[in-house]
Protein backbone atom coordinates (compact mmCIF):
# COMPACT_ATOMS: atom_id res chain seq x y z
CA UNK A 1 0.00 0.00 0.00
CA UNK A 2 1.45 3.37 -1.08
CA UNK A 3 0.87 6.22 1.36
CA UNK A 4 1.35 9.98 1.18
CA UNK A 5 1.39 12.11 4.31
CA UNK A 6 0.86 15.87 4.17
CA UNK A 7 1.94 18.16 7.00
CA UNK A 8 -0.19 21.28 6.70
CA UNK A 9 -2.87 19.29 4.92
CA UNK A 10 -5.65 21.77 5.73
CA UNK A 11 -3.91 24.69 4.03
CA UNK A 12 -4.04 25.84 0.42
CA UNK A 13 -0.97 23.93 -0.82
CA UNK A 14 -1.73 20.83 1.22
CA UNK A 15 -5.35 20.57 0.13
CA UNK A 16 -4.71 21.32 -3.55
CA UNK A 17 -1.83 18.82 -3.68
CA UNK A 18 -4.00 16.21 -1.96
CA UNK A 19 -6.80 16.77 -4.47
CA UNK A 20 -4.47 16.53 -7.48
CA UNK A 21 -2.74 13.37 -6.22
CA UNK A 22 -6.03 11.73 -5.23
CA UNK A 23 -7.65 12.63 -8.56
CA UNK A 24 -4.91 10.73 -10.39
CA UNK A 25 -5.08 7.80 -7.96
CA UNK A 26 -1.30 7.94 -7.48
CA UNK A 27 -1.45 6.55 -3.93
CA UNK A 28 -3.72 4.25 -2.00
CA UNK A 29 -3.97 6.50 1.03
CA UNK A 30 -3.40 10.16 1.93
CA UNK A 31 -3.06 11.23 5.56
CA UNK A 32 -3.69 14.92 6.24
CA UNK A 33 -2.03 16.30 9.37
CA UNK A 34 -2.78 19.82 10.55
CA UNK A 35 -3.31 21.84 13.72
CA UNK A 36 -6.74 22.69 12.30
CA UNK A 37 -7.96 19.12 12.54
CA UNK A 38 -11.58 19.94 11.77
CA UNK A 39 -10.62 21.74 8.55
CA UNK A 40 -8.35 18.84 7.54
CA UNK A 41 -11.23 16.44 8.18
CA UNK A 42 -13.51 18.56 6.04
CA UNK A 43 -11.00 18.46 3.16
CA UNK A 44 -10.59 14.69 3.53
CA UNK A 45 -14.34 14.08 3.33
CA UNK A 46 -14.84 16.54 0.48
CA UNK A 47 -11.95 15.27 -1.67
CA UNK A 48 -12.83 11.61 -1.16
CA UNK A 49 -16.38 12.28 -2.35
CA UNK A 50 -15.19 14.43 -5.27
CA UNK A 51 -12.94 11.70 -6.67
CA UNK A 52 -15.06 8.64 -5.83
CA UNK A 53 -16.06 7.99 -9.47
CA UNK A 54 -12.51 8.12 -10.82
CA UNK A 55 -10.13 7.09 -8.03
CA UNK A 56 -9.96 4.70 -5.10
CA UNK A 57 -7.60 6.82 -3.00
CA UNK A 58 -8.70 7.04 0.63
CA UNK A 59 -8.14 10.13 2.77
CA UNK A 60 -8.13 10.57 6.51
CA UNK A 61 -6.66 12.79 9.21
CA UNK A 62 -3.79 11.83 11.49
CA UNK A 63 -1.04 13.19 13.72
CA UNK A 64 2.48 13.91 12.49
CA UNK A 65 3.64 10.66 14.09
CA UNK A 66 1.07 8.78 12.00
CA UNK A 67 3.06 9.82 8.92
CA UNK A 68 6.14 7.77 9.78
CA UNK A 69 4.80 4.82 7.82
CA UNK A 70 4.30 6.88 4.65
CA UNK A 71 6.38 6.48 1.50
CA UNK A 72 6.44 10.25 0.94
CA UNK A 73 5.81 13.04 3.44
CA UNK A 74 4.95 16.38 1.88
CA UNK A 75 5.62 19.29 4.22
CA UNK A 76 3.84 22.53 3.38
CA UNK A 77 3.49 23.81 6.95
CA UNK A 78 4.70 27.33 7.65
CA UNK A 79 3.83 30.76 8.97
CA UNK A 80 0.92 32.63 7.32
CA UNK A 81 1.38 34.35 3.97
CA UNK A 82 2.33 38.01 4.18
CA UNK A 83 2.91 40.92 1.82
CA UNK A 84 6.60 40.69 0.96
CA UNK A 85 8.98 41.03 -1.98
CA UNK A 86 11.17 38.10 -0.97
CA UNK A 87 10.55 34.50 0.09
CA UNK A 88 13.51 34.85 2.46
CA UNK A 89 11.38 37.02 4.76
CA UNK A 90 9.73 33.76 5.88
CA UNK A 91 13.01 32.27 7.11
CA UNK A 92 12.97 33.18 10.79
CA UNK A 93 9.39 32.07 11.29
CA UNK A 94 9.59 28.89 9.24
CA UNK A 95 12.91 27.69 10.65
CA UNK A 96 11.15 27.37 14.01
CA UNK A 97 8.46 25.22 12.35
CA UNK A 98 11.18 23.04 10.81
CA UNK A 99 13.07 22.68 14.07
CA UNK A 100 9.97 21.23 15.73
CA UNK A 101 9.33 18.98 12.74
CA UNK A 102 12.93 17.71 12.70
CA UNK A 103 12.66 16.60 16.33
CA UNK A 104 9.64 14.46 15.48
CA UNK A 105 11.20 12.97 12.34
CA UNK A 106 14.33 11.95 14.27
CA UNK A 107 12.14 9.87 16.59
CA UNK A 108 10.40 8.01 13.77
CA UNK A 109 13.14 5.48 13.13
CA UNK A 110 12.13 5.45 9.46
CA UNK A 111 13.29 7.47 6.46
CA UNK A 112 10.42 8.39 4.15
CA UNK A 113 11.11 10.86 1.36
CA UNK A 114 10.54 14.37 2.72
CA UNK A 115 9.31 16.69 -0.02
CA UNK A 116 9.35 20.27 1.28
CA UNK A 117 7.47 23.21 -0.22
CA UNK A 118 7.90 25.77 2.57
CA UNK A 119 9.87 28.94 1.81
CA UNK A 120 12.72 29.64 1.62
CA UNK A 121 12.88 26.15 0.17
CA UNK A 122 16.62 25.79 -0.38
CA UNK A 123 17.58 26.92 3.12
CA UNK A 124 14.92 24.87 4.89
CA UNK A 125 15.66 21.72 2.90
CA UNK A 126 19.33 21.90 3.86
CA UNK A 127 18.58 22.64 7.50
CA UNK A 128 16.14 19.70 7.65
CA UNK A 129 18.87 17.47 6.23
CA UNK A 130 21.27 18.75 8.92
CA UNK A 131 18.81 18.51 11.79
CA UNK A 132 17.40 15.06 11.01
CA UNK A 133 20.43 13.21 9.68
CA UNK A 134 18.27 11.80 6.88
CA UNK A 135 20.09 10.49 3.80
CA UNK A 136 20.59 13.41 1.36
CA UNK A 137 18.62 11.66 -1.38
CA UNK A 138 15.56 11.64 0.90
CA UNK A 139 15.49 15.45 1.30
CA UNK A 140 13.88 17.15 -1.69
CA UNK A 141 12.88 20.79 -1.99
CA UNK A 142 10.10 21.68 -4.44
CA UNK A 143 11.30 24.29 -6.95
CA UNK A 144 9.67 23.10 -10.18
CA UNK A 145 7.49 26.22 -10.30
CA UNK A 146 10.49 28.30 -11.43
CA UNK A 147 10.72 26.24 -14.61
CA UNK A 148 6.97 26.54 -15.19
CA UNK A 149 7.27 30.32 -14.93
CA UNK A 150 10.18 30.28 -17.36
CA UNK A 151 7.96 28.43 -19.83
CA UNK A 152 5.06 30.83 -19.12
CA UNK A 153 7.27 33.87 -19.72
CA UNK A 154 8.79 32.40 -22.90
CA UNK A 155 5.31 31.69 -24.25
CA UNK A 156 4.29 35.31 -23.69
CA UNK A 157 7.47 36.54 -25.38
CA UNK A 158 7.41 34.24 -28.41
CA UNK A 159 3.70 33.64 -28.92
CA UNK A 160 4.32 29.88 -28.88
CA UNK A 161 1.71 27.93 -26.85
CA UNK A 162 3.21 27.09 -23.48
CA UNK A 163 2.27 23.40 -23.75
CA UNK A 164 4.69 23.16 -26.70
CA UNK A 165 7.65 24.47 -24.68
CA UNK A 166 10.04 22.88 -22.18
CA UNK A 167 12.77 24.55 -20.10
CA UNK A 168 14.78 24.30 -16.87
CA UNK A 169 15.61 26.72 -14.09
CA UNK A 170 18.29 25.89 -11.51
CA UNK A 171 19.89 27.79 -8.62
CA UNK A 172 17.94 29.45 -5.82
CA UNK A 173 14.17 29.32 -5.60
CA UNK A 174 14.16 33.11 -5.51
CA UNK A 175 15.98 36.08 -7.04
CA UNK A 176 19.17 34.07 -7.64
CA UNK A 177 17.44 31.59 -9.91
CA UNK A 178 19.28 30.62 -13.10
CA UNK A 179 17.15 30.12 -16.23
CA UNK A 180 18.97 27.81 -18.63
CA UNK A 181 18.17 29.27 -22.03
CA UNK A 182 19.95 26.38 -23.76
CA UNK A 183 17.29 24.07 -22.28
CA UNK A 184 14.40 26.01 -23.86
CA UNK A 185 12.82 23.81 -26.53
CA UNK A 186 9.80 23.99 -28.83
CA UNK A 187 8.37 20.52 -29.39
CA UNK A 188 11.77 19.06 -28.55
CA UNK A 189 13.76 21.39 -30.82
CA UNK A 190 16.09 24.00 -29.26
CA UNK A 191 14.60 27.49 -29.51
CA UNK A 192 16.83 30.43 -30.46
CA UNK A 193 16.01 33.82 -28.96
CA UNK A 194 17.36 37.31 -29.44
CA UNK A 195 19.17 39.07 -26.59
CA UNK A 196 16.18 41.37 -26.07
CA UNK A 197 13.79 38.41 -25.87
CA UNK A 198 15.98 36.74 -23.27
CA UNK A 199 16.16 39.96 -21.26
CA UNK A 200 12.38 40.34 -21.36
CA UNK A 201 11.82 36.73 -20.30
CA UNK A 202 14.30 37.05 -17.45
CA UNK A 203 12.78 40.34 -16.27
CA UNK A 204 9.28 38.86 -16.27
CA UNK A 205 10.22 35.83 -14.15
CA UNK A 206 12.26 38.02 -11.78
CA UNK A 207 9.42 40.46 -11.12
CA UNK A 208 6.27 38.32 -11.10
CA UNK A 209 6.62 37.44 -7.38
CA UNK A 210 6.58 41.07 -6.29
CA UNK A 211 3.56 41.82 -8.45
CA UNK A 212 1.74 38.75 -7.15
CA UNK A 213 2.37 39.75 -3.54
CA UNK A 214 1.27 43.34 -4.16
CA UNK A 215 -2.22 41.85 -4.55
CA UNK A 216 -2.03 41.12 -0.81
CA UNK A 217 -4.47 38.24 -1.29
CA UNK A 218 -3.18 36.26 1.69
CA UNK A 219 -2.72 33.15 -0.47
CA UNK A 220 0.26 31.53 -2.10
CA UNK A 221 0.27 30.13 -5.64
CA UNK A 222 -1.71 27.09 -4.56
CA UNK A 223 -2.88 25.83 -7.94
CA UNK A 224 0.57 26.07 -9.55
CA UNK A 225 2.19 24.38 -6.58
CA UNK A 226 -0.55 21.78 -6.13
CA UNK A 227 -0.28 20.66 -9.76
CA UNK A 228 3.52 20.80 -9.66
CA UNK A 229 3.78 18.81 -6.43
CA UNK A 230 1.50 16.18 -7.89
CA UNK A 231 3.84 15.86 -10.87
CA UNK A 232 6.91 15.49 -8.64
CA UNK A 233 5.12 12.83 -6.56
CA UNK A 234 4.19 10.98 -9.76
CA UNK A 235 7.86 11.02 -10.90
CA UNK A 236 8.94 9.62 -7.53
CA UNK A 237 6.40 6.81 -7.52
CA UNK A 238 6.98 5.76 -11.13
CA UNK A 239 10.82 5.87 -11.11
CA UNK A 240 10.50 8.07 -14.17
CA UNK A 241 13.47 8.99 -16.38
CA UNK A 242 12.06 12.50 -16.80
CA UNK A 243 14.43 15.24 -15.68
CA UNK A 244 12.87 17.48 -13.05
CA UNK A 245 14.39 20.52 -11.31
CA UNK A 246 14.41 20.20 -7.50
CA UNK A 247 16.37 21.67 -4.62
CA UNK A 248 18.72 18.88 -3.56
CA UNK A 249 21.96 18.20 -1.69
CA UNK A 250 24.52 18.14 -4.55
CA UNK A 251 27.31 16.15 -2.86
CA UNK A 252 29.97 17.63 -5.15
CA UNK A 253 27.99 17.68 -8.40
CA UNK A 254 28.55 20.96 -10.25
CA UNK A 255 31.38 21.50 -7.73
CA UNK A 256 28.86 22.30 -4.99
CA UNK A 257 28.97 21.13 -1.38
CA UNK A 258 27.16 21.79 1.92
CA UNK A 259 24.04 23.36 0.42
CA UNK A 260 20.63 22.54 -1.03
CA UNK A 261 20.15 24.14 -4.42
CA UNK A 262 18.00 23.72 -7.50
CA UNK A 263 19.49 21.21 -9.97
CA UNK A 264 18.16 18.87 -12.69
CA UNK A 265 17.45 15.44 -11.19
CA UNK A 266 15.82 12.10 -11.83
CA UNK A 267 13.58 10.91 -9.03
CA UNK A 268 12.35 7.54 -7.84
CA UNK A 269 11.12 5.61 -4.85
CA UNK A 270 14.57 5.92 -3.30
CA UNK A 271 14.35 9.72 -3.60
CA UNK A 272 16.94 11.49 -5.74
CA UNK A 273 18.20 8.77 -8.08
CA UNK A 274 20.53 10.97 -10.10
CA UNK A 275 21.70 14.58 -10.28
CA UNK A 276 21.97 15.25 -14.00
CA UNK A 277 24.89 17.41 -15.13
CA UNK A 278 23.96 19.62 -18.08
CA UNK A 279 26.12 22.00 -20.07
CA UNK A 280 26.14 25.52 -18.65
CA UNK A 281 27.44 28.69 -20.20
CA UNK A 282 30.14 30.65 -18.38
CA UNK A 283 27.49 33.17 -17.27
CA UNK A 284 25.09 30.45 -16.04
CA UNK A 285 27.85 28.76 -14.04
CA UNK A 286 28.75 32.11 -12.47
CA UNK A 287 25.09 32.72 -11.58
CA UNK A 288 24.86 29.24 -10.05
CA UNK A 289 27.85 30.02 -7.80
CA UNK A 290 26.19 33.30 -6.76
CA UNK A 291 23.05 31.34 -5.82
CA UNK A 292 25.21 28.86 -3.89
CA UNK A 293 26.83 31.62 -1.83
CA UNK A 294 23.51 33.36 -1.19
CA UNK A 295 21.86 30.18 0.10
CA UNK A 296 24.86 29.36 2.28
CA UNK A 297 24.69 32.84 3.81
CA UNK A 298 21.02 32.34 4.65
CA UNK A 299 21.72 28.88 6.10
CA UNK A 300 24.39 30.43 8.35
CA UNK A 301 22.01 33.17 9.51
CA UNK A 302 19.34 30.59 10.34
CA UNK A 303 21.68 28.87 12.81
CA UNK A 304 21.10 31.77 15.22
CA UNK A 305 17.31 31.48 15.27
Beta-carbon-side half-sphere exposure of residue 237 (alpha carbons within 13 Å): 20
Instruction: Output the CA–CA distances (angstroms, integers) from residue 291 to 85, 247, 253, 260, 301, in the order listed.
Output: 18, 12, 15, 10, 15
Say which DSSP state 224 is in.
H
DSSP assignment string, 234-296: HHHHHT----EEEEE--TTGGG--SS-EEEEEEEETTEEEEEPP----HHHHHHHHHHHHHHH
The domains found in the chain, sorted by start residue, are 3-142 (3.40.50.720), 144-302 (3.90.110.10)
**Cβ 301 vs Cβ 91: under 8 Å:** yes
List of the chain residues with pLDDT < 50? none
**Cβ 226 vs Cβ 95: under 8 Å:** no
**Cβ 53 vs Cβ 36: under 8 Å:** no
**Cβ 251 vs Cβ 263: under 8 Å:** no
Angle at 140 between CA 161 and CA 48, to 5 degrees: 70
**What's the CA gap between 168 and 264, in Å, rounded?**
8
The torsion angle over the Cα atoms of residues 196, 198, 201 and 205, rounded to 10 degrees, is -130
Q: CA 112: distance to chain centroid?
A: 16
Q: CA 9: distance to chain centroid?
A: 15
Angle at 30 between CA 169 and CA 107, to 5 degrees: 85
pLDDT in tens, 112-161: 999 999 989 999 999 999 999 999 999 999 999 999 999 999 999 999 99
Say which DSSP state 148 is in.
H
Closest CA to 220 of 18, 44, 80: 80
Neighbours of 261 (CB within 10 A): 30
The torsion angle over the Cα atoms of residues 158, 164, 169 and 173, rounded to 10 degrees, is 90
**Cβ 179 vs Cβ 202: under 8 Å:** yes
**What's the CA gap between 128 and 134, in Å, rounded?**
8
Q: What is the pLDDT of residue 218?
A: 81
Amino acid sequence: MTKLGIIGGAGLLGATAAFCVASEGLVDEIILSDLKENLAQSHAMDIEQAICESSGTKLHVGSIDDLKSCDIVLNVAGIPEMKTSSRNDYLNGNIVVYQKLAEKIKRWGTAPIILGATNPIDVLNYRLYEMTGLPPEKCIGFSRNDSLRFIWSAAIETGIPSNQLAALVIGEHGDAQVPIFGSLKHNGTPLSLSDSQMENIFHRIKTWFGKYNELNSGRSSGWTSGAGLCRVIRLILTDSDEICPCSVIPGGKYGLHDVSIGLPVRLGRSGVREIVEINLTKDERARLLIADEKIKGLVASSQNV
